Structure 1
Amino acid sequence: MRSPGLLIPAFSLLASIQLSFASKCPPWTQNNRVFVLTDISNEPDDTMSLVRLLVHSDLYTIEGLVATTSFWLPNGTDAEQIQSLVDVYATVQANLQSHSNSSFPTAKYLSSKIASGPKVYGTEALKELEAGGSLTSGAQLLIDAVDASPEPLYIQIWGGSNTLASALWYINATRTASAHQAFTSKLRVYSISDQDDTGPWIRRHFPTMRYIASQAGFNQYGVAAWTSISSSTVDVGGPDKAAVSQDWLTANIQIGPLGAKYPDVMYIMEGDTPTLLYNIPNGLGDPEHPNWGSWGGRYTSNPLGSDAQFGDATDTVIGGDGKSYTTNWATIWRWRNAFQSEFAARMQWTLAPNSPNSNATHPPVVIINGACGSKAIEMNVTVGQHITLNASASYSMDAGAKLNFTWFQYKEPSAWQASTSVVPTINITRPGGTDGSLSSFTIPEPNSRSCKAPEKVTEFGQYAEAIKCPVLHVVAAVKDVGARHPITRYRRVLLRVQPYDRE
């Protein structure tokens, strides 16, 4: 399922773009529809993630907050805990809203989206349905959410998945094959590993449905990508441990009425949060493209090129110790300082309404070559073509903001194997005398010295992948370096290299 992005011709932009035009570019407003399944009260991390969701809830359309069971909470659900957090959110919602051009949902609306899934473990819920039992309120809410819109529904599974399994079982039993297919085609699942036995059941019975999950032995959480959100045992020396320490959380997150509900760390900080970060519309990722990479990690399909089941991919990242790490964990921890800094900035929003004297930090608006929005910019390019990307029209709503521009090639999404040696390197330069908002480069020759359009390739396996023309990814990251808690926004440029033959 590929969203087309914004297709514009590649060209060298010589004239600067006036801020008067930039001011007409609104921040991102098209939010993903998300549906959360959480085994909240099992351990503190679900409560932590729910606090983060609430202070970022202007970036999502929340369609469901459903309490579930899991391996570690097999005999009950706790929707009351969700409601208690929403009640506290009500006391800070007005403050949050004053800081955003998008809409923070009301507590009343969120309360209408709270429900409970089956109070039994895993596939026991399916046995109850087979015996004539009724759908739970949570499973019915999920069905209603899917039916309510033609837009995708992103299901974030923080615990067991039997609420989703129940809904799928019911749809399969009560609707025609075409109606069933129409229903499942709208589902996008990101599961924090498998936390009951219905995850494998779903993937086995609905193999064409989009499903992201770290694939490992059951309960082998330590090898999963999502653990790098905060685990101190992944890539030791690479990620910044201070940004997820209890001391940092106490100082920056456990503040104000809602922050007071953020528990101390036990086991791991926010193990479920990568599902939220995956859908955050910050211009880095696109949830329709798991392989592109985002704050929520990067995932690759099996088989290659499929739009269905995805597992962990790897990135190569230079860590804080100067060493190189090529791991699935690096796909998340590489963004740790950025997503923690935004969380801290938003917790400040909860404390007071926005005002000229509030000294609050807000997201910049990134504009490249005159293109507004957060969707990737797509360019058809030829080898040897000179490209200039101009982000000088980008701006911040904050007075006195000092915007910093970082440009980088994200190689891994272009690779068809763990090694990025198959991807040609873009030599990005920044013209002298500028503030860094411009970047220039020449489209490099494919490593194979020739390439074909993907639809023209008749080879298979490694030979096919080696001769396909690459799609190269360049990303701009923009933030206010003068802010106490900078908020980073990105813009991705896809360079679609056209067929080339050196001979």
Structure 2
Amino acid sequence: MKLLVCAASILLLLGQPIFAQKKQPSAKARTIVTTDGEVDDVDTFIRMLLYSNEFNLVGLVYSSSQWHYKGDGKGTRFTSEMENTAKRYGERTDLRWPGTTWMETYIDKYAQVYPNLIKHASGYPSPTYLKNLVRVGNIDFEGEMNHDTDGSNLIKKILLDNDPSPVYLQIWGGTNTVARALKSIEDQYKTSANWAAIQKKVSDKAIIYAVLDQDATYQKYVAPNWPRIRVLYNSDQFWSFAYLWPRVVPTELQTYLKGAWFADYIKFGHGPLLSSYFLWGDGQKIAGDPEHTHGDLAEAQKYKLSQYDFISEGDSPAYFYLIDVGLRSMEDVSYGGWGGRMVRSATNPYRWEDGKTVTDYDPYTKKQETAYPQTRWIPVLQNDFAARADWCVKPYKEANHAPAVTLNHPHDLRAKPGQQVTLSGSATDPDKDKLAYRWWQYEEAGTYKENVTINQADQAKALVNVPGNALAGQTIHLILEVTDQGTPALTRYQRVIVTVAN
């Protein structure tokens, strides 16, 4: 996602449709982050550290992109392969490079709040563990993948290890360091007798979550040479968490992204990690990036933004997707969840996309909107962020913690047209807060595209009638949403999928 000034042109990019990956419910997803260090990557990284207990980080890798590269130190001049960037910057020896120490800087700040975080939840990785994950990948130029690096070697090692569980490769910048790892595997094994087995092993493990194409290496190398690597491609939905949010997020939800909210719940009084979070007009400046002017209040006012307004976390959907809140979207990304909703490409069965044809109904604009599969979660995501901010500084009893939600029947049910289905769930809250129940239909996630009536939708036990015109094999997605009455209010879910029987 890069740059407010050229975001409008990037927004014109579109994909087609999403994803389907079964996972062991008790296992945390393994994931590697690759990042070019843009301001929105830094903010994404800061929030991600607060959720690092929810997945298994196995690599943190500096990489380049069309917007950020170091140069080779020899004065070599480079012109972008990406049309927008080539026109904007022309020939360069380096571009807006933020260096290769900033992740360690924020891990040091995480270390200062880590003793408090572990009072609130188990599974937080130690600062030492996180620092040991950091590697420098391919950073000399946009799309550079000609030589092995510590970062590409780490990715290669994990893709070749004997753990068959998926490895989610988060692409916050360019794909080039991942591409180099794959090219190194190909170079080593392509002429060997077990190449087919190696290629299948890696393809079965690797899952790329990319936010736009920020270099050409996926299209030029990964797609043609590793066609069975699964890809989740986010080209539209991330904008609700990126630079263009004022144009994308309905006015009614923008409160959660405005300066007053961030000042109260995130920026101040929550320890050194969150005091470093970048916001409009906050006076902060990223070294090495002359175009990071967001901290200048006059610059904010030029764009009609207020002090401490949200800038961007355009890459956060890549790890939101890995947080298990009961929505089952890691089973199939077309179900929709905190990381968005995508559908399988009509031309590539290993690729899932959002784009202009993947929309959810926005009750504020009363239209189908391309960003709303992500936008719809803003209130719960921001409240959850605010609770984690409290975890940095408050004792357990003074902070809020999410309820645990369960179903009293299987997650998948079958029912005939006209049949009444009883839905039943329950929830407990670690803070003994009162709980509010709400059952609702996620119409776009199901294949039965009409509204169903849910009786007693505000109770733990609800009733729904399968419509008489529903066809065998169609699915109806019903969400049990439970919200506590703590501060900030926190929400968790369970999803029931009703398949229409003959």
Which whole-Å CA distance do the structure 1 matches of 2:130 and 2:228 have between them? 31
The Cα offsets for residues 167-218 of structure 1, whole Å up to 9 and x where unpaired, read as 1111122221221121121111111101111132222332221112245xxx
- Matching of residues 306-321 of structure 1 within 5 Å: 306-312=349-355, 314-319=358-363
The residue aligned with 1:33 is 30
Residue 4 of structure 1, CA deviation: 6.5
Pick from 423, 429, 441: which aligns with 2:455?
429
- Matching of residues 320-339 of structure 1 within 5 Å: 322-339=364-381
Which whole-Å CA distance do the structure 2 matches of 1:366 and 1:103 have between them? 20
Equivalent pair of 1:77/1:116 in contact (CA under 8 Å): no
Which whole-Å CA distance do the structure 1 matches of 2:26 and 2:266 have between them? 25
Equivalent pair of 2:143/2:175 in contact (CA under 8 Å): no
Which whole-Å CA distance do the structure 2 matches of 1:472 and 1:310 have between them? 22
One-letter amino acid of the counterpart of residue 192, structure 1: V
Q: Say if 2:237 is the partner of 1:225.
A: yes
Q: Say if 2:186 is the partner of 1:172.
A: yes
**For the structure 1 residues 495 and 297, does the alpha-carbon distance in structure 2 shift closer, same or farther, using more than 3 Å as the test?**
same
**For the structure 1 residues 264 and 424, does the alpha-carbon distance in structure 2 shift closer, same or farther, using more than 3 Å as the test?**
closer
One-letter amino acid of the counterpart of residue 264, structure 2: A
Equivalent pair of 2:265/2:389 in contact (CA under 8 Å): yes
The Cα offsets for residues 373-424 of structure 1, whole Å up to 9 and x where unpaired, read as xxxx112222222211112x3110003x011111111111224xxxxxx624
- Matching of residues 4-403 of structure 1 within 5 Å: 30-40=27-37, 42=38, 44-75=39-70, 78-100=99-121, 102-125=122-145, 128-129=146-147, 135-148=148-161, 149-175=163-189, 176-201=195-220, 202-214=222-234, 224-230=236-242, 231-235=244-248, 237=250, 240-254=253-267, 255-265=270-280, 266=294, 268-303=311-346, 306-312=349-355, 314-319=358-363, 322-354=364-396, 358-369=397-408, 377-391=411-425, 393-399=426-432, 401-403=433-435
Which whole-Å CA distance do the structure 2 matches of 1:122 and 1:78 have between them? 15
One-letter amino acid of the counterpart of residue 28, structure 2: N
**For the structure 1 residues 237 and 88, does the alpha-carbon distance in structure 2 shift closer, same or farther, using more than 3 Å as the test?**
closer
Which whole-Å CA distance do the structure 2 matches of 1:78 and 1:446 have between them? 60
The residue aligned with 1:462 is none
Equivalent pair of 1:316/1:324 in contact (CA under 8 Å): no
**For the structure 1 residues 33 and 236, does the alpha-carbon distance in structure 2 shift closer, same or farther, using more than 3 Å as the test?**
closer
**For the structure 1 residues 284 and 38, does the alpha-carbon distance in structure 2 shift closer, same or farther, using more than 3 Å as the test?**
same
Question: Structure 1 unaligned runs (5+)?
Answer: 7-27, 130-134, 216-223, 372-376, 416-421, 452-468
Residue 124 of structure 1, CA deviation: 2.9
Question: Structure 2 unaligned runs (5+)?
Answer: 1-18, 71-96, 190-194, 281-293, 295-309
Moved more, 261-270 or 293-302: 261-270
The residue aligned with 1:220 is none
Pick from 445, 454, 462: which aligns with 1:413?
445
Q: Secondary structure at the match of 1:270?
A: coil
The Cα offsets for residues 271-313 of structure 1, whole Å up to 9 and x where unpaired, read as 1111111111111242241211111111111127934343335
Which whole-Å CA distance do the structure 1 matches of 2:365 and 2:429 have between them? 34
Moved more, 228-237 or 206-215: 228-237
Q: Secondary structure at the match of 1:294?
A: coil
Which whole-Å CA distance do the structure 2 matches of 1:443 and 1:3 have between them? 28
Give TM-score, length-normalised by structure 2: 0.78
The Cα offsets for residues 459-499 of structure 1, whole Å up to 9 and x where unpaired, read as xxxxxxxxxx212111111111x222112111111112223
Give TM-score, length-normalised by structure 1: 0.78
Q: Secondary structure at the match of 1:276?
A: helix
Equivalent pair of 2:109/2:273 in contact (CA under 8 Å): yes
- For these two proteins, the number of residue pairs brought into alignment is 419
Residue 115 of structure 1, CA deviation: 0.7
**For the structure 1 residues 309 and 335, does the alpha-carbon distance in structure 2 shift closer, same or farther, using more than 3 Å as the test?**
closer
The residue aligned with 1:11 is none
Residue 262 of structure 1, CA deviation: 0.8
Which whole-Å CA distance do the structure 2 matches of 1:298 and 1:246 have between them? 28
Which whole-Å CA distance do the structure 2 matches of 1:478 and 1:4 have between them? 25
The Cα offsets for residues 418-448 of structure 1, whole Å up to 9 and x where unpaired, read as xxxx6243211108xxx6211111222345x
- Displaced runs of 4 or more, over 4 A: 1-6
What is the RMSD computed on CA atoms of the aligned residues? Answer: 2.3
**For the structure 1 residues 495 and 261, does the alpha-carbon distance in structure 2 shift closer, same or farther, using more than 3 Å as the test?**
same
**For the structure 1 residues 2 and 229, does the alpha-carbon distance in structure 2 shift closer, same or farther, using more than 3 Å as the test?**
closer
Pick from 479, 483, 486: which aligns with 1:483?
486
Residue 51 of structure 1, CA deviation: 1.0
